[in-house]
């Protein structure tokens, strides 16, 4: 007797094993797929400015092209559209990708810092947003995107923390009128 097996998914926690079957839902809410949005901290900096998750324009190791980009907080550029502050969500693979460089997606690094990296469908690149507690969660690592009080400033570091009720883990999603 011979059996043939076709592997469709290979991961420690395959999407099809998740309660939401990999469609990005969490508590009945999901990010709107492919709509451009800004990730805004609920806390403002010392000057009262809103801070947004921003991807650097240049590769972290420029002039080399490694596909790794720093992700940090930056004041909202209300005068101009800064595509490095715009993101879009793929509800199939649960990635949050940059509008400025669509092949680059948010990545929770092994050091718990965030970066943008070419989309390789890594577990560290899959996120869900919970509108109830305003957390951007990585369901695989059980961590949420956040900032420390000292990083709540222009060019402040974006990190991940264990999911808990903490004001510095709360984010607003602000959709913008771009297509």
Q: How far is it, in rounded angstroms, from Cα 145 to Cα 129?
A: 10
Q: Is 85 helix (H, G, I), strand (E, B) or coil?
A: helix
Interval 28-52: pLDDT, tens: 345 889 999 999 998 888 888 889 9
Instruction: Please tell me which residue, 15 or 94, carries the higher pLDDT value.
Output: 94
CB atoms closer than 10 angstroms to residue 92: 11
CATH fold for the domain made of 32-174:
Trefoil (Acidic Fibroblast Growth Factor, subunit A) (2.80.10)
How sure is the predictor about 9, in pLDDT bands with cuts at 50, 70 and 90?
A: low
Q: How far is it, in rounded angstroms, from Cα 85 to Cα 122?
A: 22
How sure is the predictor about 4, in pLDDT bands with cuts at 50, 70 and 90?
A: confident
Name the pTM for this structure: 0.79
Per-residue pLDDT at 132: 82
Taken in order 58, 62, 63, 66, the sign of the CA dihedral is: negative
Domain residue extents for the chain:
32-174
How sure is the predictor about 11, in pLDDT bands with cuts at 50, 70 and 90?
A: low
Per-residue pLDDT at 88: 96
**DSSP conformation letters of 21-62:** TTS--BTTB-PPBT--EEEEESS--TTS--EEEEE-SS-TTT
Q: 143, 162 in Cβ contact below 8 A?
A: yes
Query: Per the structure block, which two tokens stand in for 87?
Result: 């993101």
Q: How far is it, in rounded angstroms, from Cα 8 to Cα 6?
A: 6
């Amino acid at each position: 007797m011979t059996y043939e097996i076709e592997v469709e998914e290979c991961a420690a926690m395959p999407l099809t094993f998740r309660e939401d079957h990999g469609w990005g839902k969490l508590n009945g809410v999901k990010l709107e797929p492919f709509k451009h949005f800004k990730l805004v901290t609920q806390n403002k900096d010392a000057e009262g400015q809103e801070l947004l998750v921003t991807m650097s324009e240049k590769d972290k190791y420029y002039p080399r092209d490694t596909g790794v980009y720093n992700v940090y907080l930056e004041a909202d550029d209300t005068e101009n559209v800064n595509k490095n502050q715009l993101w879009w969500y793929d509800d199939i693979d649960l990635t949050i990708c940059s509008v400025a460089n669509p092949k680059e997606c948010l990545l929770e690094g092994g050091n718990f810092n965030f970066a943008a990296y070419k989309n390789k469908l890594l577990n560290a690149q899959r996120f869900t947003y919970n509108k109830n507690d305003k957390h951007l969660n990585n369901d695989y690592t059980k961590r949420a995107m956040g900032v420390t009080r000292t990083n709540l400033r222009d060019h402040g570091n974006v990190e991940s923390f264990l999911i808990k009720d903490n004001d510095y883990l709360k984010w607003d999603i602000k959709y913008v009128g771009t297509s």
